[in-house]
Structures are given as C-alpha cells and as structure tokens.
C-alpha cells in the first residue's frame, strides 16, 4: 500500500486518507452500472495507492453499490474506513425512493442489512442521508448512539444538514463528519456551515468536489448524457447553463497550466487548502482519473494562488440550480 497523507475528520479520532473515493457512480446515478470486476479492481487499486476512505449508501442502486463495495474491500477489512447512509424509504416493489424515513426502527433495519452487504462487523461511519422532518434529530442521534454502544457503528455523520440540525444532533451524539456538496461552483457551506463545523470539531466530507464532472473540463454544452444519468434533471447541466459556466473551468485551467496540473487537480487542491479537516470524495470509474485525483495532494497552491482564485471566482455567477426541484425539497436548511 502506498503511503498517502491522512487527515482527521474533526476531533473525533477518525483518520482517513486525504482524498477518499466516492463509489456511487460505479453502480448508479451517472448511467448504467459499470462492470463489477472492473470496479472491484479499481477499488483495490485505490487501496494500493493509499486510499483508506470509501463512500457508499443503501440507496445507490439500491443495495448493489453496498454489495460491490463489500466484495471489493473484503480483503482489506480493518485497513479501510467505509461510510454508508440511511434515511430513505424505498418502494419494496421497485426499489425506488419513496420519500424519507429516519424512524429509529428503520435505522436499525437498514444497519443490519448494510452490515451484511458490506461484509463488516461494524459500519465505520454512518450518515443520515437526508434530514427527515418527521423524526426529531435527537431520536436519530440517540439511535445511532445506541448502535455505537452496541458495537455496530463506530462514528456518526450527517449529510446535507443545516446548522440547527447539526447542533441538536451533536448535543446527543458527537457528529464526526458532515457530508455535503462543496466545490468552487457550490460555495454555500462557507457562509454558515464551515464555521459551525470548526467550532464543534466536526470534519467535512465534500461530495461532488469536481461539480459532477464539470470542473474536469471534459464536459461542455455539446456533451450528451445517458438517459439514466441524473445530470439530465439538474438545471445547472442544461446546455445554456453549461455554456455560461465554462468560465469556471477556464479559471481552473489557467491556474493548472501554471502548475503543471489539470483543472480537476486544482479544484481538489483548492478544497484541501480551505481547512485541514476537509476530505473530498471524488468518484470515478477509471484508473487514470483516480490517479489524477490523488495527484491533487501534490499540487501546491500558495496563499497568492488561493487569493487569486477567490478573487476571480467572486466575479463569476454560476448559472442553474444544483438540484432538481424534487431533490431540493429534501435538503435541510
């Protein structure tokens, strides 16, 4: 296993590789599922390169992504941290999402099933995937606290939670990490979320740190997506929005050229430079992209570079919402 720098997620004691691997796209979200053996090989290649933090969820598929991660990482039990999530109601007939469900009894059912699929005795990091307005967050945190005491879960996380929810949950069971979208084209967490995480000693795990692929520079207004790709429903990926938002990629490309890096590497290096307790989880299905992403840890951005990026980015207005209206309604604010 190659030595890679590590980071602590807040003050919890959970130490993971500086860059994690988001596994969702291997099975779900961005078109048809990829070849199982190829994805297992990719996860194992990530471990060989020092990645120790892998992200999945029961809803990815549903279920098949957890099974894939469980099989892929089985030889490395105890050497890697696997994060998964609960919080959606799934239609028993179709397996599709049918709203939110964080009732304590449901959390327990999900955990028992996830443990089997992941082939582990304890879930390293268990996130509430979306805040359920029908269930007090104290009940959710209390249930996870019990699961930690029972040895079935090690650490508790929240996803896309707002400041009040984070504080209330943390008062019952310390929150190890918040997972939410954060990148140069979605900077909302900077206003309220990051200061609260710093105050409480909670780590931050940005998903879509490359803007669902857009910040790599490989997507433009002429790119077409598979019919099952979620980006078809995202206003930010409408053709006219993509054309307008290319200016962000051009900003990254300019910095990248001066560093001998790629736009994706600069986007990740910028995130890593924000706080020492931020651990992005870019997803990929290709080995050369995995290596490119991991290479971001060697891109040195100076204080002057960061100031220049922030100054240029402040002049840019990103076009389009980051979620469809239906998905946006499930975000806790």
Residue 250's CB is within 10 A of a number of other CB atoms, namely 12
pLDDT value of residue 229: 96
pLDDT value of residue 95: 84
Measure the CA–CA gap between 249 and 77, rounded to whole angstroms.
Answer: 38
Number of domains in the chain: 1
Measure the CA–CA gap between 241 and 316, rounded to whole angstroms.
Answer: 13
Residue 1 within any structural domain of the chain: no
Helices 137-149, 104-118: inter-axial angle, 10-degree rounding: 40
Predicted confidence (pLDDT) per residue in 119-153, tens digit: 999 999 999 999 999 999 999 999 999 999 999 99
Domain range for 25 is: 6-328
Residue 333 within any structural domain of the chain: no
Residue 41 within any structural domain of the chain: yes
Residue 299 within any structural domain of the chain: yes
The whole-number mean pLDDT for each consecutive block of 10 residues of the chain, a chain of 333 residues, reads 86 97 97 97 98 98 97 97 97 88 98 98 98 98 98 98 98 98 96 98 98 96 95 96 96 96 98 98 98 96 95 94 91 83
pLDDT value of residue 94: 84
Domain with residue 178: its CATH number is 3.20.20.100
Residue 225 within any structural domain of the chain: yes
Predicted confidence (pLDDT) per residue in 154-191, tens digit: 999 999 999 999 999 999 999 999 999 999 999 999 99
* Inter-residue contact 54 to 81 (CB < 8 Å): yes
For residue 129, what are its two tokens?
Answer: 């995937």
Predicted confidence (pLDDT) per residue in 89-99, tens digit: 998 888 888 99
User: Residue 323: which of 180, 127, 162 has the closest Cα?
Assistant: 180
Our answer to whether residue 60 is catalytic in this structure is yes
Residue 219 within any structural domain of the chain: yes
Set 60, 127, 155, 182: catalytic member: 60
pLDDT value of residue 207: 98
């Amino acid at each position: 296993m190659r030595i890679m720098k590590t980071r602590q997620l807040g003050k919890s004691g959970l130490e993971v590789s500086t860059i994690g691997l988001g596994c969702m796209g291997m099975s779900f979200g961005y078109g048809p599922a990829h070849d199982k053996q190829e994805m297992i090989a990719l996860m194992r290649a990530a471990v060989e390169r020092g990645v120790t933090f892998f992200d999945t969820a029961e809803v990815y598929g549903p279920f098949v992504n957890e099974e894939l991660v469980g099989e892929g990482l089985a030889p490395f039990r105890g050497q890697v941290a696997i994060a998964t999530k609960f919080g959606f109601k799934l239609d028993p007939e179709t397996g599709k999402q049918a709203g939110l469900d964080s009732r304590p009894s449901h959390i327990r059912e999900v955990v028992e099933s996830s443990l089997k699929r992941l082939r582990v005795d304890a879930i390293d990091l268990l996130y509430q995937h979306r805040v359920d307005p029908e269930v007090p967050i104290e009940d959710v945190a209390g249930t996870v606290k019990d699961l930690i005491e029972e040895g079935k879960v090690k650490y508790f996380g929240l996803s896309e939670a707002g400041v009040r929810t984070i504080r209330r949950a943390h008062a019952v069971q310390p929150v190890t990490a918040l997972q939410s979208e954060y990148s140069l084209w979605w900077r909302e967490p900077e206003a309220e979320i990051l200061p609260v995480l710093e105050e409480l000693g909670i780590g931050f795990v940005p998903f879509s740190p490359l803007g669902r692929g857009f910040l790599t520079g490989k997507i433009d207004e002429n790119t077409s997506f598979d019919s099952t790709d979620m980006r078809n429903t995202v206003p930010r990926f409408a053709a006219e929005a993509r054309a307008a938002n290319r200016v962000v990629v051009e900003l990254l490309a300019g910095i990248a050229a001066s560093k001998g890096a790629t736009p994706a590497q600069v986007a990740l290096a910028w995130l890593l430079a924000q706080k020492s307790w931020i651990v992005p989880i870019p997803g990929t299905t290709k080995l050369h992209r995995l290596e490119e992403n991991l290479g971001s840890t060697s891109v040195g951005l100076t204080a002057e570079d960061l100031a220049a990026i922030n100054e240029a980015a402040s002049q840019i207005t990103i076009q389009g919402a980051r979620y469809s209206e239906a998905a946006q309604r499930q975000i806790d604010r």
